[in-house]
Amino acid sequence: MLGGYLGPLAIIGLTILPAAVVAGVAGRLVRISFLLTLPIAISVVLVSVFTRAGETVLFTIGPFDATAEGVDFAGQTLVRLFAISTAIGLFGLTTDPRAFVFDLERRRLSPRFAFVALATLEAVPAMVERAAVIQAAQRARGLDTEGSVRARLRGVMPLVGPVILSSLTEVEERSLALEVRAFGRPGRRHLLWWIPDSGAQLTVRILAIGALVVATVLRVTGNLDGLP
């Protein structure tokens, strides 16, 4: 029954959330991940619950049967989505964009690639700030965003569209502004700053890459399926 849930939940519970707590960003991380996951989650739940074939029909709406198998599939997908969004969110909230971009360039990656990475990193805290502004504006217009979980959820729904659309527009404008400042110019730059890289950071990076290789090998050889 727990197959398909335990893996992502273990990743969230044993690595991502403890790291977020240590970094002091746990609350923001959960909010961001919720915002990032919500639009996809809604469509996943609707499509999975009502269109996935199954033997156990829970209830029927018109021509659509909601099946237990569909609910189980939607649940597994949501947990995986949440694991992915919390991982991306944690990275965005705890990584110094300057260090990240210049380290990528130091490793001879294209500035354009670096910009895509930067835009992704920057989008996370920017999205949180924008969501707070839009939420405050909607609260000023009488929208109830506090109190019960239901009220909070109702308050979050109208934020999703404006937050995501304005983030996309901002990324486009920012890319133009960076191009104006010759960000895409090929060739060597003389950096004004030095990026420290401690032994602990190097160790964690090696361990993370090792875990990725092991997980990939287990998946390719079919041995990951036996694990929870």
Residue from 91, 135, 158, 170 touching other proteins (CB under 8 A): that is: 170
CB contact at 8 A, 85 and 37: yes
Q: How far apart are CA 90 and CA 182, in angstroms?
A: 30
Query: Tokens 């033997």 sit at which residue?
Result: 55
Question: Residues touching other proteins: how many (CB under 8 A)?
Answer: 31
Considering only CA atoms, which of 44, 118, 120, 52 is closest in space to residue 82?
A: 44
CB of 93 to other proteins, least distance (A): 14
CB of 179 to other proteins, least distance (A): 4
Q: Which two tokens stand for residue 86?
A: 């919390």
Q: Is 2 in the site for other proteins (CB under 8 A)?
A: no
Residue from 6, 137, 153, 182 touching other proteins (CB under 8 A): that is: 182
CB of 11 to other proteins, least distance (A): 28
Give the interface segment with other proteins, choosing from 21-29, 43-51, 181-189, 214-222 (CB under 8 A): 181-189
Q: Which two tokens stand for residue 44?
A: 């996943």
What three-state secondary structure class fits 58? strand
Cβ partners under 8 Å of residue 79, min gap 6: 4, 5, 8, 9, 12
Cβ proximity to other proteins, 87 vs 117, nearer residue: 117
- Amino acid 194 reads W
Q: Is 108 in the site for other proteins (CB under 8 A)?
A: no
Fill in the per-residue mask, 86 to 105: x = in contact with other proteins (CB under 8 A), - = not in contact: ----------xxx--xx---
Q: Is 184 in the site for other proteins (CB under 8 A)?
A: yes
